[in-house]
Amino acid sequence: MTDPTDQIETVSALAEPQRRRLYRYVVGQPDAVSRDQAATATGLPRHTAKFHLDRLVDDELLVAEFRRLGTRRGPGAGRPTKLYRRSAREFEVSLPERRYDLAASVLAAAAEDTLTHGTHLADAVRAAAAAAGTDAARATDGDILATLAGLGFEPRAGAEVTMLVNCPFHRLAAAHPALTCGMSLDLVRAVLDARGEPTDRAVLDPGPDRCCVVLTAPS
Give the confidence band of 86 by pLDDT, cuts at 50, 70, 90. Answer: very high
Give the confidence band of 12 by pLDDT, cuts at 50, 70, 90. Answer: confident
User: Would you state the pLDDT for residue 9?
Assistant: 80
* Contact between residue 213 and residue 164 where contact means Cβ atoms under 8 Å apart: yes
Give the confidence band of 49 by pLDDT, cuts at 50, 70, 90. Answer: very high
User: Would you state the pLDDT for residue 163?
Assistant: 97
Q: Which residues of 29-60 are buried (b: 16+ CB within 10 A; e: fewer)?
A: eeebbbbebbbebbebeeeebbbbbeebeebe
**pLDDT tens digits, one per residue of 114-125:** 999 999 999 999
* Predicted TM-score (pTM) of this structure: 0.73
Rounded-to-integer distance, Cα 27 and Cα 15, Å: 16
Lowest pLDDT segment from 134-138, 146-150, 215-219 = 215-219
First to last CA, the chain: 30
Mean pLDDT of 97-119: 96
pLDDT at residue 73 greater than cutoff 80 = no
Query: How does DSSP assign 91-145, residue by residue?
Result: ----SS---HHHHHHHHHHHHHHHHHH---HHHHHHHHHHHHHHHHHHH--S-HH
Going from the N-terminus, what domains does the chain have, and what CATH number goes with each? Answer: 4-86 (1.10.10.10), 100-216 (no CATH)
Residue ranges of the alpha helices (H) in the chain? 4-11, 17-27, 35-42, 46-58, 100-117, 121-139, 144-150, 170-175, 177-194
Mean pLDDT of 34-47: 96
Identify the sign of the CA torsion 106, 111, 117, 118.
positive
User: Which residue would you say has higher pLDDT here, 80 or 204?
Assistant: 204
Per the prediction, the chain carries an average pLDDT of 91
Residues with Cβ within 8 Å of 17's Cβ and at least 6 positions away in sequence, in order, are: none
pLDDT at residue 5 greater than cutoff 90 = no
Give percent above pLDDT 90 in the chain: 77
Residues with Cβ within 8 Å of 75's Cβ and at least 6 positions away in sequence, in order, are: none
Give the confidence band of 100 by pLDDT, cuts at 50, 70, 90. Answer: very high
Mean pLDDT of 207-214: 94
Give percent above pLDDT 70 in the chain: 94
User: Which residue would you say has higher pLDDT here, 77 or 155?
Assistant: 155
